[in-house]
Amino acid sequence: MKKVMHFEYNLPVSIFKENNIFIAYTPALDLSTSGKNFDEVRKRFKEVVKIFFDELSDKDTLDQVLQEYGWKKTKQQWSAPTFVAHDNIPVRV
């Protein structure tokens, strides 16, 4: 069982509310989770990211998956893709 080296990542996260549920989503890993309130969804988001990294490390696919998501590796440190903006764009359909 291979373990992830512990680093601190700054991930872009959108948190929004659907009815009475809070949703946290990061495009950097295409991960989301939900919670009953803002604090719970933040806590659960951190947990799901840790599980994600642990599972990929255990399967020895961490490098491959992060590269597929556009992450860059410098020395032994991975960097998430740069978050540019969060915007509402009107679209007519």
pLDDT in tens, 70-87: 999 988 888 899 888 888
pLDDT in tens, 10-38: 899 999 999 999 999 999 999 999 999 99
If pLDDT is split at 50, 70 and 90, which confidence band does 49 have? Answer: very high
Any idea of the CA torsion for 58, 81, 10, 56, to the nearest 10 degrees?
-10
User: In Å, how far from its chain's centre is CA 63?
Assistant: 15
70: left (phi over 0), alpha (psi -120 to 50) or beta: left
**Taking the model in full, what pTM does it have?**
0.82
Q: What is the pLDDT of residue 86?
A: 81
